[in-house]
């Protein structure tokens, strides 16, 4: 008497078609990536608007001239924010991800230090 597994042709299930599974995984990853890019692109306008507002606020504070030694730091920060927002506005999400990956590969130590600094600052500001 044959078992259900033998009758269904699944005798050696350890040798399942892994090529088909890998291709399905690649397709799923591609579809997921595209959906994430679409979501990011849909939110890009809001982020750009906030970045421009932050840069304008910094420039306004810098024009008042009450900052003393911090004046050049505030001006530099406003310029950096304007450059970042311009880059975000001009590039697609896919281009930005590729650029970020290239920068991380070139300077992994700077990336790790930046992540630590952001984590520390977020922990300080979000402390309950």
Residue 6 resides in a domain: no
13: tokens are 């299930």
Residue 95 resides in a domain: no
30-34, 98-102, 104-108: range with lowest mean pLDDT:
30-34
Reply yes or no on whether the pLDDT at 4 is more than 90: no
Question: Which has the closest alpha carbon to 85: 54, 48, 120, 117?
Answer: 48
Tell me the mean pLDDT in the region 61-86: 77
Domain that residue 61 falls in? 16-90
Residue 96 burial (CB < 10 Å; 0-12/13-18/19+)?
A: middle
Q: Within its chain, how far is the Cα of 64 from the centroid? A: 35
Number of structural domains the chain divides into:
1
Coil, strand or helix at 48: helix
Residue 51 resides in a domain: yes
Residue 84 resides in a domain: yes
Residue 74 resides in a domain: yes
Q: Dump pLDDT digits (tens) for 30-73.
A: 889 888 888 888 888 888 888 888 888 888 876 766 667 777 77
Distance, CA of 27 to CA of 31 (rounded, Å): 6
Residue 86 resides in a domain: yes
Residue 116 resides in a domain: no
Residue 26 resides in a domain: yes
């Amino acid at each position: 008497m044959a078992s259900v597994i033998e009758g269904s042709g699944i005798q050696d299930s350890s040798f399942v078609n892994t090529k088909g599974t890998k291709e399905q995984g690649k397709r799923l990853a591609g579809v997921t990536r595209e959906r994430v890019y679409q979501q990011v692109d849909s939110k890009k306008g809001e982020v750009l608007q906030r970045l421009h507002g932050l840069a304008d606020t910094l420039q306004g504070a810098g024009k008042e001239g009450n900052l003393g030694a911090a004046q050049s730091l505030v001006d530099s920060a406003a310029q950096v924010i304007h450059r970042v927002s311009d880059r975000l506005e001009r590039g697609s999400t896919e281009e930005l991800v590729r650029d970020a990956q290239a920068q991380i590969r070139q300077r992994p130590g700077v990336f790790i230090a930046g992540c630590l600094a952001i984590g520390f600052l977020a922990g300080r500001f979000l402390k309950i």
